[in-house]
A and B are shown apart, each in its own frame.
Chain A
Amino acid sequence: MPPTLMAERAAAPAAGTPILSVRGLKTYFRADDGVVRAVDGVSFDVRAGRTLGIVGESGCGKSITARSILGIVDRPGKIEAGEVWLTPGGGTGAPIDLAKLASDSAEMRAIRGKEIALVFQEPMSSFSHYYTVGNQIMEAIRLHSDATKQQAHARAVELLRLVGVPKPERRVDEYPFQLSGGLRQRVMIAMALACDPHVLIADEPTTALDVTTQAQILDLMRELQAKRALALILITHDMGVIAEMADDVVVMYLGRVVERGPVDAIFHDPKHPYTQALLRSIPSIMATPRTKLATISGSIPHPLNRPTGCPFHPRCPDFKPGVCDKAEPATTVIDDRREVACFLYGGGA
């Protein structure tokens, strides 16, 4: 057990050390009525002390990507292909391919929480209503260490203090429903940090919160990342949050990564027509009052009604008939940190 959390991590990996590499990940849901390709060939790298933002509209596969990494996809979902390479111990251990591990294997259980932790999208459903927050944090601690009850309790209080919960000695004995939304999310983060993970996946950690509370939580995550050299995967559909938080960005549409690159390039030189359209269509607080927004025509198709070829082609302003609706564009590498999947930039096989 690390001595204290308030200090910087003693043997923190150098910022930028690659910790997690996802390659060609595919997770499908097969049912009688068809196959939902929830995640369909996703690749990215996550580095220590850096934030990878995954952005995309509802149903594009962000949560399933996170769940696939941790091997907790609900049935009938299954990882069909791809690799998830984790370098444990913050980049010091021998790489393991998580996609190969059985979801209930001892190795996988040792990784969950200890190496990679997840802050869930629905804070209320990821708590038990019948235990105090303290008990739930203590359970997470004792799962991965041989701390005594007293040690775990002290650690739980310390964790709550770390994430900015006021009067942690008292709060530790409260039940989740007694907490406000913002506090609950802080406790979620405390729980995720219980075993000092190297990778933190935050799935829409602030979507249910007000902007002022969101600002508090984002601030907290940035601070924790700096202290602990956390590799952070931040999942959101809010481009503003991505712009403020991410170093690298993955843009997803219908299970595919359409574009990947450094945050500045994504916002100031977007390549993929979807990224371009998305950026034009988001309302901005910087806009002139009462101005129309550019729109993307149509709406996201039902996952069982997936368009042929490039999944974006029915809505794409640059659609090339006979090309885009025939084959799926392959990923074109633009430079070592940028990739785009579109026929405008090659994308042929």
Chain B
Amino acid sequence: MNVLEVVNLRKYFPIRKGLLRRIAGQVRAVDGVSFHIKKGETLALVGESGCGKTTVSRCILRALPPSEGEIRFAVDGKVVDLAKLPKRALRPYRRHIQMVFQDPFSSLNPRMVIADIIGEPLLINGMRSGEERRKRVKELLDMVQLPAAYMNRFPHAFSGGQRQRVGIARALALHPSLIVADEPVSALDVSVQAQILNLLLDLQDRLGLTYLFVAHDLSVVKHVSDRVAVMYVGRMVEIAGTADIFARPRHPYTEALLSAVPKPDPRLKSERIILERDVADPANPPPGCHFHPRCRYAVERCKVDTPALQEVEPNRWVSCHRAHELMLRGVQ
């Protein structure tokens, strides 16, 4: 069963110029992205900085209004299109999609104690009794392995890893059916990253959670995700199961991305594919396949025709004209 189906999602930001702030162009931050997430799985959304990962997740959460497309969300046995709902009608669905943030410092209100931070969603959604709330907060703290005695502390007394646990507890408070985690470990120290990743895996096993895990670190992604979706300049280039995509990428960009990741073993000094030039500018992307100026397999057709995302084999979507003929290199 799919918890979420995103169909042809677009989000354009206007570029304003001059004194009168006239619209001079558009940043095509998300330019026709489709994917789905099954119940109980982790879909990782990866790609380079600025490719639109955060914009996709913010549209799903409706922290940003999408410009176009559908966000079909399965809730209480029916499917609603979150993209079309006006803000007010959105309220009852908010609680079902929660978020874990990247920055453990700005994601907790420094003026509230932990009990209030975790309890706020409960309070807003109708749990009036303070006693009941405290009980649930205790439970949640226990889930994220923090002592219940920390309830009356303010966020400033916590380390980055502990704050991230508090953020996870808050996200879990309302039993959401989807958790969007935008780079939840990239601001943490290496030794703390592992703790949080393990916690996320644990919670998923125990509570049957569904994650959209946004990340740029492919090593982290390999540890947590069931499937991986790779974005490049606002478009989806490849979606596949984790083991498949790492072992045998089908899109040249995925191949380059994988080969660029440093392997933590000095004996494996593998050949790296060095991409020439910079990532394309989403305000002014190249025609045809966005990746063609950097692609070493590009042919004439790539410069004019935009490849569509196609299912090249079961559960494997690739948008490349040459997906069927290329044999690309993965890791191991």
A and B touch in the complex (CB under 8 A): yes
**Residues of A participating in the B interface, judged by any CB pair closer than 8 Å:** 57-58, 166, 180-183, 210-216, 218-219, 237-244, 246, 263-264, 267-268, 277-279, 281-296, 299-300
Question: Are the C-beta atoms of A291 and B189 separated by less than 8 Å?
Answer: no
Closest to A183 in B: B278
In the bound assembly, the distance between CA atoms of A267 and B42 in angstroms comes to 31
- Mark B residues whose CB is within 8 Å of A: 42, 48-49, 159-162, 189-195, 197-198, 201, 216-220, 222-226, 242-243, 246, 256-269, 272-275, 277-279, 331-332
Point out the residue from B225, B274, B278 that lies within 8 Å of A289, measured CB to CB. B225
Which B residues touch A183, using CB under 8 A?
278
* B264 and A290 contacting across the interface, CB-CB below 8 Å: no
Q: Which residues of B contact A296 (CB under 8 A)?
A: 191, 194
User: Complex: how many Å from CA A336 to CA B256?
Assistant: 39
CB-based nearest A residue for B158: A299
CB of B219 within 8 A of CB of A285, answer yes
Asked if B263 contacts A286 (CB within 8 A), the reply is: yes
The answer to whether B191 touches A287, judged by C-beta atoms less than 8 angstroms apart, is no
Query: Cα distance A147–B169 when bound, in Å?
Result: 62
Please give the distance in Å from A66's CB to the nearest CB on chain B. 19
Q: Which 6 A-B pairs have the closest CB atoms?
A: A240-B262, A293-B194, A215-B260, A289-B242, A281-B194, A283-B219
A246 to B223, CA, bound (A): 26
The residue in chain B whose Cβ has the minimal distance to the Cβ of A179 is: B278
B195 → chain A closest CB, angstroms: 5
Nearest CB of B to A94, in Å = 35
**With A267-B266, A286-B331 in contact, is A278–B274 under 8 Å at CB?**
no
Q: Hey, which chain A residues are within 8 Å of B162, CB to CB? A: 299
Contact A289 B218 (CB under 8 A): no
Q: Are A210 and B48 in contact (CB under 8 A)?
A: yes
User: Out of B49, B159, B194, which one reaches A210, CB within 8 Å?
Assistant: B49
Q: Can you list 17 contacts pairing A with B, beta carbon distance less than 8 Å? A: A182-B278, A212-B260, A237-B189, A246-B266, A277-B191, A278-B191, A281-B193, A283-B194, A283-B217, A283-B220, A285-B263, A286-B331, A291-B223, A292-B201, A295-B198, A299-B189, A300-B189
Query: Which of chain B's residues has its CB closest to A274's CB?
Result: B191
Interface centre among B190, B216, B220, B246 (most CB of A within 10 A): B190
State whether B159 touches A243 (Cβ < 8 A): no
A268 touches B267 (CB 8 A): yes
Q: Report yes or no: B191 in contact with A240, Cβ–Cβ below 8 A.
A: no
- Contact among A210, A279, A289, A300 with B264 in the assembled complex (CB-CB below 8 Å): A279
Shortest beta-carbon distance, A241 to chain B, in Å?
5
Please state if A211 and B260 are interface contacts (CB–CB under 8 Å). Answer: yes
In the docked arrangement, what's the CA distance between A58 and B191, Å?
A: 10
Q: Are B223 and A287 neighbours in the complex by a CB distance under 8 Å? A: yes
CA distance in complex: A223, B208 (Å): 49
- Within 8 Å CB of B243, what residues of A? 288-289
Output the least CB separation between A266 and chain B (Å): 8
